Structure 1
Amino acid sequence: MLMIQGLHYAHPNKDVLFAGINLTVNKHQKIALVGNNGTGKSTLLKLLGGELQPTSGSVKAEPKPYYVPQILGQFNDVTVAQALQIDAKLTALAQILAGNVTDDNMSTLDDDWEIEQRCAEAFALWGLGDIDLNTPMASLSGGQKTKVFLAGIHIHQPEAVLLDEPSNHLDVAGRELLYKYISSTRHTLVVVSHDRALLNMLDTVCQLSHRGITTYGGNYEFYAEQKLIEAGALEDDIRSKEKALRKAKEVARESAERQQKLDARGKKKQEKAGMPKIMMNTMRNKAENSSSKLAGVHAEKTGSIAGKLSTLRKEQPAVDKMKMDLDNSSLHKGKILVDAEGINFRYHDAELWHQPLNFQIRSGERVAIRGQNGSGKTTLIKLILGQIVPTSGTLNSVIANAIYIDQDYSLIDDTLTVYQQAQKFNLGALQEHDIRIRLDRFLFGTDDLDKPCRSLSGGEKMRLILCSLAIQSQAPDVIILDEPTNNLDLQNIGILTSAINEYRGTLLVISHDTYFLDQINITIEITLQ
């Protein structure tokens, strides 16, 4: 069992990340931990895994869970065995087999005589048979590094496993192996992921937010349905509060007008009756105090309703606030944009693809480019954009206006601020307040406008690109997305999905995320081998 009670964690600079967190994970339970970027999901995993210590509260995790981290660059200076923390055991085993049977070596090995066999089995299972335990981690790809840590599950044989974005760098084959493990294992699991196919394999979803942890007793599909119901109820509540606010303002206005008429009528009567001036002043002061008190009552009521309405609007899902509002592509639907006949590309005296490629891409189509890591997906995009030419075959492309959103978000100039970046796309001479309105719609408030782009997260950069396209107004004829969901949380994936589904031009997508491809209505697939 994993148990968190009254957990409070503050960063070294004293900024509080979360407080009062409670969570219980029972033996063999499989839990998805979801939440927006910045809520502390990865930190919570590290606290469960003993990588960090809480500021206050308690974390009970015995025996210690096995932790698969999301960020792997910190292991570049060590070997595979060192990253898996089995180097000391392997050295002790080698010493013992060489005849150096000391108490220290025997204690380090701890009767784990099958560790080498388990390593071989685990590496074979995850397709790492050609990687040695002494291989430097720096020489491995992102997908291989992830597989090394996934192989560590079989090597260490833990009771509980913590997985932080485990499918991020995996190709289709790697994801299938991961899904097979997730669905068949008896391990207790806590998984942070934006991979919705994976999330559907877990029996409980726990949402981490500023309010704490909310538990939904079902998989991701069930969670998404519940969030839709909540969003609908929230929308009804917002409309009800808006109606109440309008009514309260109307009542306040009518009451003020009625009081003004009464005061004016009373003043005329007093003047007509020849009432002494001192008495008239006294009665006027009483009338003004009465009017002021009445206005205060109405102001308090409207202020209360307005405050509640503001709170409700802050709870509104971000995806509901955003609209791309792009014009349609100027190309007529069905126009042939790319015509490839027998194309291939040669790297180091070898053809990239086993079979030459033949395909057409027409205006308005939604095309997925799929294949394992290293199959040449990015190379094909460069060929389509005319950045390189095929070494065999012919490729004709008439794409003139394309936006390429790569994994590094190269459309974003890191030397600019958020506002300056948006202004770069202001081709229609929008006024400053119009740009601010559009930035706010994409969750960039006043405090974010002077923030340097280099400090933005992947999700924030994606939102800024989408916002910039909305500011540009004229839609590109083609949008190309290269692994667009890799660095995004569920909220930002929802934003991207909604924006892409508004777009009416041609779409090319490189992605291993089959759930995302289904959501954006892919019509054609080009599979590379």
Structure 2
Amino acid sequence: MAAISLSRISWVTPDGHGVLTGLDLNFGQERTGLVGRNGIGKTTVLKLITGELKPMTGSVRVTGTLGQLKQVVKPGERETVADLFGVTGALALLRRAEAGTASVEELADADWTLAERITAALARVGLDAGPDTRLAELSGGQRTRASLAAAVFAAPDFLLLDEPTNNLDRSGHDAVVALLAGWRAGAIVVSHDRELLNQMDSIIELTSLGATRYGGNWTHFRERKATELEAAQQDVAHAERQAAEVRRKAQLAAERKDRRDTAGSRKAAQGGMPRILLGARKSNAEASRGAGAKLADRQRAEAQAALASARSRIEILQDLSVALTPTGLPANRTVLRLDGVTAGHDPDHPIIRDFSFTMEGPERVAIVGPNGSGKTTLLMLIAGGIAPIRGTMSVAVDFAMLDQRVGILDPAASILDNFKRINPGATDNACRAALARFLFRADAALQQVGTLSGGQMLRAGLACTLGGSRPPALLILDEPTNHLDIESVEAMEAGLRSYDGAILLVSHDETFMTNIGIERRLSLGPRGGGSA
């Protein structure tokens, strides 16, 4: 039977940073979601399974075949879908056979259904393409779909997927969800996509404490985590009571001992007790005091250890909660207005055509549409990155834009220095307090932005943008949840729920849009036309 086993795995980065320590994991013929914070080792686990990485200690055993999603970032000019599927030679043989130039020996190896099966695999992920389609002609989302089709083409025993729904429009996303919903072999899926994780049979969470398996899908996992958080909070309360009780008893014992020693000293001072007996009593008192002190120290250490253990579970289980300064944006205030706008990088081939749109007050609006419909172009237009070719546009309030690269931050500066630049006049204490609310405490605030993970960088962008004394009245977000772990997404949701300004958002993450309270959707068509 197909199975994957990781036994006592340890792995460190080339610079000596420990990622995995003594990890034991087993995967059978079920769909498993692998979740955890950025940097905890999820992608590392996949690379250890495929052999791309070798463990420092421990062993990896794979029984069965693997299919892996390969992210094609910059394909070669002549690279085709057939290259992605690894069947270029087999298709060339079929063409020689059709032309009558194949040898008898070659004809015996010909797979006459190959092209048809490739097309069917592509259709399964909602991609209208063929084996000869050049990858450079496909969008990033379409290439992701093609890569997924290639991964499932040979019907592997295990499908390994690392963030498969990133960069996909809604139809592509739904195709991936449908594929996983109907997948009956093994699958290991690293994802922050909660809709996709709801198709899983089990969830494995990686934390600093190790790996924990939960039966059921993402919704069931969250319910179990909520129960565990409640239990952990009760354990903390119990441990705090126990620690306080240990301190109280130790204090009482010390006071009783002092009273006895004082009484004994007074009696000895009155005379009538042999010197040898006085010495023995003094020695016994000192020995008793030492034994009592050791017992009290041990009890205090045990109580503190129990309290620290309970609190460590709280740190892992508790969600981020953020309180922000109000923007005071009134409900009837016009935030932005576009009238008959046509825009794009090429005036002869505009992406946005005759587009009109108005936002008022603290509205929360999502711009949706297929890849290539002009969503990001529209955001760039509103943010001032490009000018309209025709029509008029005005933004009537102060705003900030956070794209996937968080361009508002200087990568060469620290988080703290970025905060001070974006919020001039803020005191050092105010800066520190604001960053701490977004989990950048103490030395974490001094990290150079360029060294941060994607999730940390976006959280830093939110902290610097929204954590000041005067947050902008309009926040523009372009696919903010791409490449983030779920903890970072939920931290962002917590921050945006506390924000009382207007939000204009491009996203394909339905759960995220629901959780931040999107009120209106603006749908862009294939040619940049729109409707609310």
User: Quick check: TM above 0.5?
Assistant: yes
When residues 479 and 470 of structure 1 are mapped into structure 2, their CA distance, relative to the original with a 3 A threshold, is closer
The structural deviation recorded for 1:226 is 0.8
Distance in 1, matches of 2:137 and 2:236, equals 54
Amino acid at match of 2:254: A
**Counterpart mapping for 1:385-464 below 5 A:** 385-400=383-398, 402-424=399-421, 427=424, 429-431=426-428, 439=435, 442-444=438-440, 448-464=444-460
The structural deviation recorded for 1:424 is 4.0
Is the CA contact 1:32–1:192 (under 8 Å) kept in the aligned structure 2?
yes
* Match of residue 256, structure 1, among 254, 257, 260: 254
Give the structure-1-normalised TM-score: 0.86
Is the CA contact 2:6–2:59 (under 8 Å) kept in the aligned structure 1?
yes
Amino acid at match of 2:62: K
Counterpart position of 1:44: 45
The structural deviation recorded for 1:520 is 1.1
The structural deviation recorded for 1:143 is 0.9
**Counterpart mapping for 1:62-81 below 5 A:** 62=64, 64-69=65-70, 71-73=71-73, 79-80=79-80, 81=82
When residues 437 and 477 of structure 1 are mapped into structure 2, their CA distance, relative to the original with a 3 A threshold, is closer
* Match of residue 59, structure 1, among 53, 58, 61: 61
When residues 444 and 286 of structure 1 are mapped into structure 2, their CA distance, relative to the original with a 3 A threshold, is farther
When residues 171 and 269 of structure 1 are mapped into structure 2, their CA distance, relative to the original with a 3 A threshold, is same
Q: Secondary structure at the match of 1:144?
A: helix
Counterpart position of 1:267: 265
Q: Are residue 484 (structure 1) and residue 480 (structure 2) matched?
A: yes
CA shift digits 1:486-526 (9 cap, x unpaired):
11111111111112112222222210000111111111111
When residues 154 and 237 of structure 1 are mapped into structure 2, their CA distance, relative to the original with a 3 A threshold, is closer
CA shift digits 1:315-366 (9 cap, x unpaired):
2255836443321113223322123333332543244346x33332122222
- For structure 1, which segment, 422-431 or 142-151, has the greater mean C-alpha deviation from structure 2 after superposition? 422-431
Q: Secondary structure at the match of 1:158?
A: coil
- For structure 1, which segment, 76-85 or 370-379, has the greater mean C-alpha deviation from structure 2 after superposition? 76-85
When residues 300 and 467 of structure 1 are mapped into structure 2, their CA distance, relative to the original with a 3 A threshold, is farther
The structural deviation recorded for 1:408 is 0.3
Identical aligned residues as a percent: 30
Counterpart position of 2:529: none
Amino acid at match of 2:87: I
When residues 338 and 429 of structure 1 are mapped into structure 2, their CA distance, relative to the original with a 3 A threshold, is closer
**Counterpart mapping for 1:80-119 below 5 A:** 80=80, 81-101=82-102, 110-119=109-118
The structural deviation recorded for 1:149 is 0.7
When residues 259 and 68 of structure 1 are mapped into structure 2, their CA distance, relative to the original with a 3 A threshold, is same
Distance in 1, matches of 2:172 and 2:475, equals 27
Counterpart position of 2:347: 348
The structural deviation recorded for 1:186 is 3.5
Where in structure 1 are there 5+ consecutive unaligned residues? none
Amino acid at match of 2:411: D
Distance in 2, matches of 1:328 and 1:450, equals 27
* Match of residue 21, structure 1, among 21, 24, 35: 24
Is the CA contact 1:405–1:480 (under 8 Å) kept in the aligned structure 2?
yes
Amino acid at match of 2:171: A
Counterpart position of 1:229: 227
Q: Are residue 301 (structure 1) and residue 291 (structure 2) matched?
A: no
The structural deviation recorded for 1:214 is 2.6
- For structure 1, which segment, 417-426 or 194-203, has the greater mean C-alpha deviation from structure 2 after superposition? 417-426
The structural deviation recorded for 1:132 is 6.2
When residues 154 and 65 of structure 1 are mapped into structure 2, their CA distance, relative to the original with a 3 A threshold, is closer
When residues 218 and 97 of structure 1 are mapped into structure 2, their CA distance, relative to the original with a 3 A threshold, is same
Counterpart position of 1:494: 490
Distance in 2, matches of 1:104 and 1:491, equals 57
RMSD: 3.3
The structural deviation recorded for 1:227 is 0.8
Is the CA contact 1:47–1:59 (under 8 Å) kept in the aligned structure 2?
no
Q: Secondary structure at the match of 1:486?
A: coil
Where in structure 2 are there 5+ consecutive unaligned residues? 526-532
The structural deviation recorded for 1:94 is 3.5
Counterpart position of 1:8: 9
Q: Secondary structure at the match of 2:401?
A: strand
Q: Secondary structure at the match of 2:255?
A: helix
* Match of residue 528, structure 1, among 520, 524, 529: 524
Distance in 2, matches of 1:376 and 1:446, equals 41
Is the CA contact 2:240–2:307 (under 8 Å) kept in the aligned structure 1?
yes
**Counterpart mapping for 1:277-356 below 5 A:** 286-317=284-315, 320=318, 322-346=320-344, 347-353=346-352, 356=354
Amino acid at match of 2:59: G
When residues 419 and 60 of structure 1 are mapped into structure 2, their CA distance, relative to the original with a 3 A threshold, is same
Counterpart position of 1:145: 143
Counterpart position of 1:167: 165
Is the CA contact 1:325–1:473 (under 8 Å) kept in the aligned structure 2?
no
Distance in 2, matches of 1:17 and 1:76, equals 35
Is the CA contact 1:35–1:209 (under 8 Å) kept in the aligned structure 2?
yes
Q: Secondary structure at the match of 1:526?
A: strand
Q: Secondary structure at the match of 2:327?
A: coil
Is the CA contact 1:428–1:472 (under 8 Å) kept in the aligned structure 2?
no
Is the CA contact 1:369–1:377 (under 8 Å) kept in the aligned structure 2?
yes
When residues 485 and 99 of structure 1 are mapped into structure 2, their CA distance, relative to the original with a 3 A threshold, is same
The structural deviation recorded for 1:395 is 3.0
The structural deviation recorded for 1:165 is 1.0
